[in-house]
Chains A and B, each alone.
Chain A
Amino acid sequence: MDFGFSEQQRDVQNLARQILGDNVSPESLAQYDGYKADRFDKALWDKLAEAGLLGLAVAEEYGGMGFGFFELALLIEEAGRSIAPVPLSAHLVSAALPIQQFGSAAQKQRYLPGVASGQIMLSAALTEPYNEDPAQPILTTATADGTGLRISGDKTAVPFAHLADRIVLSAKMGDGVVVVLLDPKAAGLSMTPMQVTTYEPQFALSLDNVSIAAEDILASADRGREVMQWLTERTSVALCAHQLGASDKAMRMTASYTAERKQFGVLISTFQAVGHRAANCFIDVECLRLNTYQAVSRLDGGLDASNEVQIAKIWAGDVGHRVSYAAQHLHGGTGIDRDYPLWRYCTWLRYNEISLGSSAKNLASLGKRIAAGEAFCR
């Protein structure tokens, strides 16, 4: 049991915090509010690439730093702290990691150097309308076509589909699942912008007999489900890490506010009810932090983390919700004033709570594992 950061981890944390802190501000985020502009900061993206942060978990032979999932999760936590307008989870966790883990030599050579340099942007289509299990596509189906595939169907809420060079996408094929690297410019693919609560650009994809070349197949029907489970587990944990950064920031913003705002002639922080609601957030965030780090640590170390990932996601959902409402409440009207920075955090806390399974859903699923004797306390 070692809860300390290594020097390398501290460096990543500090570098990320510095770059994101210097480049993301309420003013810079305001330009995207209400879909006034695409919520993507290209200059920031380039700075992250330049600093090597996009290549953190990319192997050195492909131009990355060759660090592990832990360092990557720390970067995403910082992205949550600043709610940075860049698609780090989709690009790095849902897409680049499985390519590195399961891709052919040619696929790795083709995509990973660009992932690290920021010249290629990747995304992932994880869910379908009303089907949120990425490993069980129903609406999207594939059939063989020579050495390649033909895919038809629907995906929803695909981040940055319009800017991505490839989108990781799963389709049902017979009894199995295939995973492909979809070219967003492919014939037969149409995308419709969606207005998601965070203002992140997301799209509904509709595929009509889209042709996929053999070289763009990431996993064949017998392996696809495993690949999707693998990347879903990691993406869930990335949501937890993002939630951790965002809720920690919302909590600290609130604490600072109560230490400046006066009512009845005194700082509102001196009212015990105010202090205690903030203290509850502190405890909550600590529980989220430790459960998230545990899940990250186990995945990083190649250990089974099925229970730990679900538990972390349960905490992420509950804590995000509770911190969001405590933060709003303790600010009074200011908390929801769009001229004050808190409200944007609230939308992300909600997004991370629900995406890839809410607390209720994960509790139910953990409950099934417990019933099956798969989740005893050690």
Chain B
Amino acid sequence: MKVEFTAAQDALRKELRSYFEQLMTPELSAECDEAMGEGGGPLWREALRQMGKDGWIGVGWPKELGGRGMSPIEQFIFVEEVMRAGYPFPFLTTESVGPQLAEFGNESQKRDIVPKILAGECLIAIGYSEPGAGTDLASLKTSAVKDGDEWVINGQKMWTSLAHFCDYVWLACRTDPDAAKPHKGISMFMVPTSDPGWSCSPVVTLGGVRTNATFYDNIRVPADAMVGELNGGWKLITSQLNRERLSLVNFGPTAEMFNNVVRWAQQMEMPAGGKLIDEPWVQINLAKVRAGVEALKLVCYKQAWAMSEGTLEMADASAAKVYGSEFFIEVYRLLGEIIGQASLINRKTEGANAMASRIERLYRTASIITFGGGTNEIQRDIISAAGLWMPRATR
């Protein structure tokens, strides 16, 4: 065991940090801020293509698939640095659906879609949730019915994030309404958002983040739009969610924010003399964040390491997700307390402090991943059952 980065990993991080300093122009940053940390704008797209060209998006992917052949640890370092730079990286596409397609997709998907993902030219939204199917995802109703060589898709999805600028929806559909168990009658499809039967309407959330209700009206897709096996979608959903969970709790941005708040508090003059950072309560808040970030870093890298070894444990992945998502809320609170009033001021206010207003916004977004990506209650169920062998109630 060696819990430290290798010299090559440190060098990679350094390289990436200067790469992103170049890439993140003030114009791009401004555009990303405008998009509430979601991306989707023209400069954002251009930068994504650039990363693709420069071979970064697939840095940890096998060479056969068009990657650079490094390990998931290097991939994780890349994602951490891109997020740390403040670029809203489309990790759902690149880190979770992409690898699923590469592993389980058919020939045409591997040939046509995967290379585009690595080139930064293809974006994919995730269509699982429906108005009536949230945590109980297997109860979903959107249907796909076979008609000759095609599938006809009808239904409504809810919370289909990023769909308004994505090329495809990775869509979960019911293909066998009579399956003995609901999750055995679900299949996955790649549905193009360019289809005339596809539409979406915005749903705006507390954090300003836009998501969507998406509608599927007699959309016809060819047989090879299906991913994996007929009625074999559940396995794809759960393994996609496993991958998603790990990207959700990336620690790079938190580490950066901590560093910025420290530097800021070192400068801030107190009315009665001295600096804000001399206050014991400020130091305690910072120390709590620092100790927590360290755990987050280790939890994340242990997952990345386990992925490269092929030994990722379900309970560990769930533990990372629960810990990270709940810790973020703590971080925004603890750091917001230090910043005080300024952490309540929207960035559009004249003279607003960028760091403080970022916390204003993030504090409003932090609940999303405690229930999204598989709610923490279910993650804790998984942990007690898979990690501690505790029999659980049947559902």
Contact = CB atoms under 8 A, between A and B. Distances in A.
| Size category, B interface | 35 or more
A19 interface: no
Contact of B389 (A6, A255, A314, A377): A255
- Across chains A and B, which 5 residue pairs bring their CB atoms closest together, nearest first? A367-B283, A377-B255, A275-B384, A290-B298, A255-B388
Interface string B272-286: 000001101011101
B12 to A, nearest CB: 12
A371 B262 CA distance: 7
B337 interface: no
Given A275-B380, A363-B284, A363-B287, A377 B293 contact: yes
A258 B390 CA distance: 7
A314 B380 CA distance: 24
B4 A303 contact: yes
Given A291-B294, A370-B286, A270 B301 contact: no
Contacts of B305: 1-4
Interface stretch (B136-144, B176-184, B233-241, B316-324): B316-324
24 contacts: A1-B5, A1-B73, A2-B2, A3-B1, A258-B390, A266-B393, A272-B381, A275-B384, A276-B377, A276-B384, A279-B379, A279-B388, A282-B387, A282-B388, A287-B295, A290-B302, A291-B294, A294-B294, A297-B4, A303-B4, A315-B291, A367-B286, A370-B286, A371-B286
A259 B297 CA distance: 33
B384 A255 contact: yes
Nearest to A308: B294
Nearest to A377: B255
B319 A373 contact: no
B295 A290 contact: yes
Contacts of B1: 2-6, 9, 70, 293, 297
B288 interface: yes
Range of interface residues on chain A?
35 or more
A289 to B, nearest CB: 9
A273 to B, nearest CB: 10
Contacts of B302: 3, 290
A272 B322 contact: no
B194 interface: no
A6 B380 CA distance: 31
Interface in A66-115: 70
Interface of B: 1-6, 9, 73, 255-256, 258-259, 262, 265-266, 277-278, 280, 282-284, 286-288, 290-291, 293-295, 297-299, 301-302, 304-306, 309, 315-316, 319, 322-323, 377, 379-381, 383-385, 387-393
Contacts of B277: 370-371
Contacts of A5: 1
Interface in A265-298: 266-267, 269-272, 274-276, 278-280, 282-283, 286-287, 290-291, 293-294, 297-298
A1 B3 contact: yes
Given A70-B1, A280-B380, A282-B315, A1 B6 contact: yes
Interface in A294-346: 294, 297-298, 301, 303, 307-308, 311, 314-315
Contacts of B323: 283, 286-287
Contact of B287 (A282, A287, A364): A364
Nearest to B256: A377
B246 to A, nearest CB: 14
B390 A269 contact: yes
Contacts of B282: 367, 371
B391 A270 contact: yes
Contacts of B293: 377
Contacts of A266: 393
Contacts of A366: 287, 290-291
Contacts of B266: 371, 373
Interface of A: 1-6, 9, 70, 251-252, 255-256, 258-259, 266-267, 269-272, 274-276, 278-280, 282-283, 286-287, 290-291, 293-294, 297-298, 301, 303, 307-308, 311, 314-315, 363-364, 366-368, 370-371, 373, 375-378
A45 to B, nearest CB: 27
A298 B280 CA distance: 29
Nearest to B311: A4
A291 B278 contact: no
B316 A286 contact: yes
A280 B278 CA distance: 34
B322 A283 contact: yes
Nearest to A74: B1
A270 B393 contact: yes
B377 A259 contact: no
A262 B2 CA distance: 43
Nearest to B251: A377
A334 B256 CA distance: 47
Given A1-B301, A282-B319, A311 B384 contact: no
Contact of A370 (B287, B306, B322, B383): B287
A370 B381 CA distance: 37
Given A1-B301, A376-B259, A376-B262, A294 B388 contact: no
B298 A278 contact: no
B306 to A, nearest CB: 7
A205 B73 CA distance: 51
Contacts of B388: 251-252, 255, 278-279, 282
A3 B277 CA distance: 35
A286 B265 CA distance: 32
A376 B287 CA distance: 11
A298 B283 contact: no
Question: Which of B293, B299, B387, B393 has the most chain A CB atoms closer than 10 A to its own CB?
Answer: B387
Given A4-B1, A259-B389, A314-B291, A269 B384 contact: yes
B298 A294 contact: yes
B289 to A, nearest CB: 9
Nearest to A294: B3
B291 A290 contact: no
B383 A364 contact: no
B326 to A, nearest CB: 9
Given A269-B390, A286-B319, A279 B380 contact: yes
A364 B278 contact: no
Contacts of B304: 1
B125 to A, nearest CB: 30
Contacts of B255: 377-378
A372 to B, nearest CB: 9
A34 to B, nearest CB: 32
Contacts of B316: 286
Contacts of B383: 278-279, 282-283
Contact of A367 (B258, B280, B309, B392): B280
Nearest to A281: B388
